[in-house]
Every structure is written in structure tokens, then in C-alpha cells.
Copies of this chain bind each other. A is one copy, B any other.
Amino acid sequence: RCYSSAAAKTLTIGLIPGDGIGKEVIPAGRQVLEALPSSYGLKFNFIDLKAGFDHFQAAGTALPEETLSALRSECQGALFGAVSSPTTKVEGYSSPIVALRKKLNLYANVRPVKSVDNGIDRPVDLVIVRENTEDLYVKEEKTFENPDGTKVAEAIKRITEVASKKIGKMAFEIALRRQALRDLGLKSIHSSPSVTITHKSNVLSLTDGLFRETIRNFYDNHLDKFESIELKEQIVDSMVYKLFREPENFDVIVGPNLYGDILSDGAAALVGSLGLIPSCNVGENFVIGEPCHGSAPDIEGQNIANPIATIRSTAMMLEFLGYDKAAAKIYEAVDANLIENKIISPDLGGTSKTTEVIEDILKRIN
């Protein structure tokens, strides 16, 4: 038992492609894990799991019980592709990814957005840390009619001290970790680390006010640990403005669920394509890597989706499971592909196929 760290560790990973291009990119996650040199001491089992709108239409449920129980009892982590959510109310349908985040208490959605040093992109190197279980995503909605017969609908936006504190802690820990990596000589545009709280407490003084105040209190109570990190804040509208005008001024941005959703798409626009942006849904005992892009029905089945968001999400999953070196290997392979700027999918102006981009990155991992 004393030598267990030297033996190959086996991780069981759930693969949930979902809908649309999810089915084309999730295989990339599996392939990069399988390609990791044995020197990293990792072996993988994979379990194919169902979820999504296609499955809902075929089987009446978007998130089968078997998927949930396999994740809970057999897996250490998972990769989720995308779902094509209907925009009109479909009786009985509910987004499986929103449900997974809540049911597995994956309280943080971490979304790094980083430009590649290829002389084309504007320098961006930030992480959005999005609360992942509450806000308007509690989905407590109701409708009723006015006496005159016109309709009214209401939704609850819920913010708790408990979730705000957890996401605040995660944001500061990530800022500290980024600082440590920079201290080790990792190139970055940031000379000084910071966490920016984003909120709209000039209007929502109680809800967003609680979010803001809880994170401020957490910081004040843990100054010993986080004193090297500057605490900043931005009202969400102004945050979107500044994100585009001066992205280089942001390091870690923390926000409630909905603002995090909006800001991460906004930040993605800064670096050329949503197809590059990974995310990781992180809980105490479980992580799900998930590309930020959607199911993209317009390009489905053409083998042209960018697999990089999924490959980076796979690395993030490893990172949050504690396997930093294996994660770094994957990140570097992706960066090398992007810096070379040759075998590149159409969203980045290239002509390569999904499978060609995957092959190129696999070659750099082996």
C-alpha cells in the first residue's frame, strides 16, 4: 500500500455526448486520455452514458436515472458534450446539464479564456468562476392571469450565503494557484493577481448584495491567505463593457450563475471562437468537463466542429481531479497546435476536419 502512488491509477470517466456536435467532440476527450503516455501513471475506464433532447424524444427523459447513478457510483469524473434545449416549453423536458449541476452539487463552473501567443490575438488570460446551482437557475417559475385575462410570469432569483461563500473561496483559490504558476515562470499578461466580483447590487441590493457582501467578508476573514490578491468589483453591465475594452485588466472574475453564463460567452468572443473555450463543473467529490459551445445543429454531422474546447475541458477535469502534470501535457499539445496555426478548424478560419485536428493534437501528446 505504501507504493500505491507508483502503481497505475485507474480512473472511471463517464462520457455523455448529448446532442448535435456533442457526439463529434466527446470522442476527442476519450482519445486524448488514452493517448497520455504511461509515465503519467493513469489508466482509464470509460462508460458511455445517455442524456439530451434526442434521448428525451426517444425515451421520455432527458437525464435517465442510469446516467445519474452510474456517475454517482462508478465514475470519478465525466465529460459532457452539449444539449439542444428547446426554446419553447416542452412538457416534461428539463435541461440535463442544469439538472446534473444541481443534483451532483457541482457548485462551481470554471471557464478559463486565454488567447494564444500567435501575434494575432489580443492578449487575454482570465478565468470566469460562475456559481453553478442557484440564481435564476433554480427554475422556480409560475404563471398566472390578471383579472383582464392577460398573462404574467414570475421566476425566483435565489442567492444564498452558503453558495456565495463557496464560489468566492473557489475564486480566490484559483487566483492563488494562477499566481503560483506565474511565480514558477509561466508566461502571463498579469503582473498582479485579482478577483473581480460582478453583480448588479445597485438594483438588486438584497440578492446580488448578499453575493457581493459574502465574498467581501470571506476575503476580509482570510486576508492572511489571500492578501496578495486584490479584490475588485464591477457592476455587470459595466463588466461587459470593460471585458471588451480592457480584458487585460481582469484575472479571475466571479459572478452569480446568469452573469457567469453571459460573461463567459462574451469573453469567448475575445479569443476568436467559442470552440476554444473549456469549462469544468466542479463539486466537492466530482467534476464534469464540458465545452462551452452548444450543440450547434447548423454544423452537425459535417466533421467540422472544433474539438479543442472538449480537449481542454478534459485537461481541466484532470486538473481538478489532482493530476496537474497530465493536464499540462494536454494544454501544451493544444497550444502547440494553435500556435502553429496550420491544422485548424473552420471556426478559426482553417479548413481542417474535426478528426484532423484531433489527430494533430494526439500526435503532440504521444
- A interface residues, Cβ below 8 angstroms from B: 85-89, 95, 98, 136-137, 139, 141-143, 146, 150-162, 199-207, 209-210, 212-214, 233, 235-238, 240-245, 258, 261-262, 264-266, 268-270, 274, 294
The answer to whether A209 touches B89 (Cβ under 8 A) is yes
9 A-B residue contacts at CB 8 Å? A142-B206, A146-B160, A146-B162, A151-B161, A154-B159, A237-B261, A240-B240, A241-B269, A242-B269
Which of B146, B158, B233 meets A87, CB within 8 Å? B233
User: Chain B residue with minimal CB distance to A148?
Assistant: B162
Which of B154, B157, B209, B265 meets A241, CB within 8 Å? B265
Which of B136, B238, B265 meets A237, CB within 8 Å? B265
Sample of 13 more A-B contacts, CB < 8 Å, known A141-B206, A143-B206, A150-B160: A85-B202, A87-B202, A88-B212, A136-B204, A146-B160, A150-B162, A151-B210, A154-B157, A200-B258, A200-B261, A240-B240, A242-B269, A244-B270
The answer to whether A244 touches B244 (Cβ under 8 A) is yes
Alpha-carbon separation in the docked complex, A158 to B157 (Å): 11
* A155 contact set on B, CB distance < 8 A: 156-157, 204, 206-207
* A207 contact set on B, CB distance < 8 A: 141, 153-155
Which of B137, B205, B214 meets A89, CB within 8 Å? B205
Alpha-carbon separation in the docked complex, A255 to B129 (Å): 25
* A154 contact set on B, CB distance < 8 A: 156-159, 207
Alpha-carbon separation in the docked complex, A262 to B259 (Å): 9
Alpha-carbon separation in the docked complex, A73 to B10 (Å): 77
User: Chain B residue with minimal CB distance to A294?
Assistant: B238
Alpha-carbon separation in the docked complex, A241 to B262 (Å): 8
Alpha-carbon separation in the docked complex, A274 to B142 (Å): 37
The answer to whether A151 touches B160 (Cβ under 8 A) is yes
